[in-house]
A and B are shown apart, each in its own frame.
Chain A
Amino acid sequence: MIALTRPGLSYAVFAAFVLPAMVGTAQAATLDDVRAADELKCGINTGLAGFANTDDAGNWVGFDVDYCKALAAAVLGDADKVQYVSLTGKNRFPALQAGEIEVLARNTTWTFSRDVDLGLTFVGVNYYDGQGFIGPKSLGISSAGELDGASVCIQTGTTTELNLADFFRTNNISYEPVPIETNAEARAAYEAERCDVYTSDASGLAATRATFDNPNDHMILPEIISKEPLGPLVRHGDDQWADIARWVLNALISAEELGVTQGNVEALAQKDGGSDNPEIQRMLGSEGSMGAMLGLDADWAAKAIKAVGNYGEIFARHLGPDTRLGLERGLNALYTNGGILYSPPFR
């Protein structure tokens, strides 16, 4: 795991060596770079259960990891041709800006300033989240409004710090922020009761709670104090690469809507005897030339779905009710099922 615990150092290295080197790489087409290296460099979390963590065999697994795999399968035809770069909340953007990675899929909230000011392009939303609080049940509180005077553990370098400051200011109550660099250390501080509650994205809290010794001793407070649309992102300036990243995500969502699964995608993609639905035919490449428009093979989407399944399958595998996290689909259900997940059409 490339856990850069000294981000200051990595920034310095970034400033000294990588920025000057960008002249050579920034203009080049990212797709060509990925093909030349025959490997996709994908930025992921340093370790967050369900989203990106290592399994018993040391392989990266998770919701975000599967997006990396789908993209690699669509571009290179092999879901295993991914080099995972685990990044902290702070060094993820410099890593992407400097070209250390080609795509960042790391529970990253889509905000105006990140999209516009940091020179990044969000390609969509793969998880609609919001910031919440987790606290021991023994505290005996039922709402975040009762937290006056509490100590709150926060992971630094995220929008979380800003939402927290806003929440306490608008409710006119005081608190002591305890800012900590990584999820693991913040968790340790929370478990030692250095702070009363720990705040993060609600999905992340569920993931953290799942790893506690006694998950049932802790409760997630009902307040969701922010909108956190999480999604993958790429650098500004390469529209073709952004299109590829965007439509791989859309293909996974559309596949769920159209009933294309990991199991039936090969059968449906057949030119003869495959699906009768023209949108499925266009998406899977048995009809039209959408792959060529993206600069990819005709069966790019079929490969991606074959590798990881559709959005619903990915969610169920890593986050759903049958996993340790036990998250409901909620907002992340398809728009046809009461959620707000909605992919533009393949037309």
Chain B
Amino acid sequence: MAAPSRTRIQQISYLWTDERLRGIAFQLLVTASLALFFAFIIWNTATNLKHAGLASGYGFLQDAASFDINQRLIDYDSTSSYGRAFLVGGLNTVLVAVLGIAAATFIGFLVGLMRLSSNFLVSRIAAVYVELTRNIPLLLQIIFWWVIILALPRVRDSISVGDVLFLNNRGVRMPQPIFEDAFQFVLALIIAGSIGTFFLARWARKRHELTGRTFPVGWSSIGLIFGLPGLSMLFLGLPVSLEIPLQGKFNFEGGFNVTPELIALWLALSLYTGAFISEVVRSGILAVDKGQIEAARAVGLPPGLRTRKIILPQALRVIIPPLTNQYLNLTKNSSLAVVIGYQDIVSIGETVLNQSGQALEVISIYMAFYLTLSLLTSLLMNWYNKRTALVRER
């Protein structure tokens, strides 16, 4: 390194002029000041909380919540704890996110393909939908759908579908299936059917690769998962009964209700994100080499098979990374639920915050929740991305 003839000053200046060493020094400096900055924020906040006489910690999660929640996927009443209230809210967020992702993906792929259609009307309709939903703030769209649903008939004038399903401005009231004990057998058959389908699909794929012969996996899986359990239900004397909603004094009683808030939020999120996904799908399909499509046409593949076997597998490689972004956006956007009173984790968290006063703790729970949900989504999508990428390697 430094030659023995160099003076000390030259050695020091050499340290400075060495690009690599200088880079390390600057990085250390930035890291240290960042650490100091965060240490200061934490210390300052802790000091101020103490000064203001505010207790901190997560012990409050054990306290009784004392408020009610209208949409519960698990048992909950006002004597349950704050922690359980958070769980109920978290599940409500997951529910609307999963429903939203499913619908947005469907809309996205459909509209994306429509937009590439050679039919003028179809592609124009798709374009108008995309430009309209993409360019209006999501918050307004949520309120728009909520107001539309509130304008539905009132409870006493509900729209009745066959006297079992009722539509009004308090949501959709549906019959609720009541399962008897014997249904467990049917459930076991459904699970067995699903596992069977999985192995059948693997076998069919292998055989297809080896011999080129196809097997109708779709139809046989429907038979396995639905047909066999359905038949067994007939033999068991229908171990499921339906609880039909009845008009009560104020609301329908019995059955279960899908709230207008859930419907409005779900519609708005799916339509908004669907528009973005359709653009992702369109760009993915346009990225497929024209020669591939021409080649598929040349070997005489029909249009449906062409899309399924040639275009989509290649387009998916381009589609999946930005698609993951859209899924994450949808999940995070669901927190706008608070405006219309859908009781998601943010809405419930704010009530908890207001009752307990634990602002920082509640915010940290939000952050941990959305971070976990987002990382899980990314993990799943990355795994899927790897699978589609592997197809190329073969």
Q: Quick one: closest A residue to B41, CB to CB? A: A20
| Segment of B108-116, B200-208, B344-352 engaged in the interface with chain A | B344-352
A176-B260 Cα distance, complex, nearest whole Å: 13
| Segment of B27-35, B228-236, B249-257, B311-319 engaged in the interface with chain A | B249-257
Given contacts A165-B78, A192-B150, contact A119 B53 (CB under 8 A): yes
Complex partner residue of B363 from A12, A90, A93, A175, CB under 8 angstroms:
A12
Asked whether, in the complex, the Cβ of B351 is within 8 Å of the Cβ of A157, the reply is yes
Given contacts A156-B347, A179-B341, A193-B169, contact A149 B353 (CB under 8 A): no
Q: Quick one: closest A residue to B52, CB to CB? A: A119
* B contacts, CB < 8 Å to A: 40-41, 44-45, 47-49, 51-55, 66-70, 77-79, 150-151, 154-155, 169-170, 248-251, 253, 257, 260, 335, 338-341, 343, 346-347, 350-351, 353-357, 359-360, 362-363, 366
Q: Which 7 pairs of residues, A with B, have the shortest CB-CB distance?
A: A165-B78, A150-B250, A192-B150, A161-B67, A157-B354, A118-B357, A22-B48
Asked whether, in the complex, the Cβ of A15 is within 8 Å of the Cβ of B363, the reply is yes
Chain B residues near A143 (CB-CB < 8 A): none
A26-B44 Cα distance, complex, nearest whole Å: 12
A sample of 9 more A-B contacts (CB under 8 A), given A23-B44, A26-B48, is A11-B362, A26-B51, A26-B52, A89-B354, A117-B357, A150-B249, A162-B66, A169-B79, A179-B70
Given contacts A93-B354, A97-B52, A236-B53, contact A177 B69 (CB under 8 A): yes
Chain B residues near A12 (CB-CB < 8 A): 363
Q: A93-136 CB contact bits vs B (8 Å, 1 = yes)?
A: 11001000000000000000110011100000000000000000
Asked whether, in the complex, the Cβ of A147 is within 8 Å of the Cβ of B363, the reply is no
A175-B67 Cα distance, complex, nearest whole Å: 12
Given contacts A147-B250, A236-B52, contact A5 B339 (CB under 8 A): yes
Asked whether, in the complex, the Cβ of A237 is within 8 Å of the Cβ of B52, the reply is yes
Q: Quick one: closest A residue to B336, CB to CB? A: A6
Taking residues whose C-beta sits less than 8 angstroms from the other chain, chain A's interface range is 35 or more
Chain A residues near B55 (CB-CB < 8 A): 117
A119-B151 Cα distance, complex, nearest whole Å: 44
Given contacts A12-B363, A193-B154, contact A20 B44 (CB under 8 A): yes
27 CB contacts below 8 A, A to B, read A7-B350, A11-B353, A11-B362, A12-B363, A15-B45, A23-B48, A113-B357, A119-B53, A148-B249, A149-B250, A156-B354, A157-B354, A162-B67, A164-B67, A166-B66, A175-B68, A176-B251, A180-B340, A181-B338, A181-B341, A185-B339, A189-B150, A189-B341, A192-B151, A196-B250, A236-B53, A237-B53
* A contacts, CB < 8 Å to B: 5-8, 11-12, 14-15, 19-20, 22-23, 26-27, 89-90, 93-94, 97, 113-114, 117-119, 139, 147-151, 156-158, 161-162, 164-166, 168-169, 175-181, 185, 188-189, 192-194, 196, 235-237
Chain A residues near B260 (CB-CB < 8 A): 194
Chain A residues near B45 (CB-CB < 8 A): 15, 19-20
Asked whether, in the complex, the Cβ of B170 is within 8 Å of the Cβ of A151, the reply is yes
Complex partner residue of A20 from B48, B150, B248, B356, CB under 8 angstroms:
B48
Q: Quick one: closest B residue to A196, CB to CB? A: B250
Given contacts A165-B68, A178-B341, A179-B341, contact A149 B249 (CB under 8 A): yes
Q: Which of A19, A27, A189 has the most B CB atoms < 10 Å from its CB?
A: A19
Given contacts A11-B359, A178-B70, A193-B169, contact A161 B249 (CB under 8 A): no
Chain B residues near A19 (CB-CB < 8 A): 44-45, 48-49, 360
A169-B67 Cα distance, complex, nearest whole Å: 10
Chain B residues near A118 (CB-CB < 8 A): 54, 357
Given contacts A156-B351, A161-B351, contact A149 B150 (CB under 8 A): no
Q: How far is the CB of B217 from chain A (nearest CB, A)?
A: 45
Asked whether, in the complex, the Cβ of A93 is within 8 Å of the Cβ of B350, the reply is no
Q: Quick one: closest A residue to B49, CB to CB? A: A19
Asked whether, in the complex, the Cβ of A8 is within 8 Å of the Cβ of B66, the reply is no
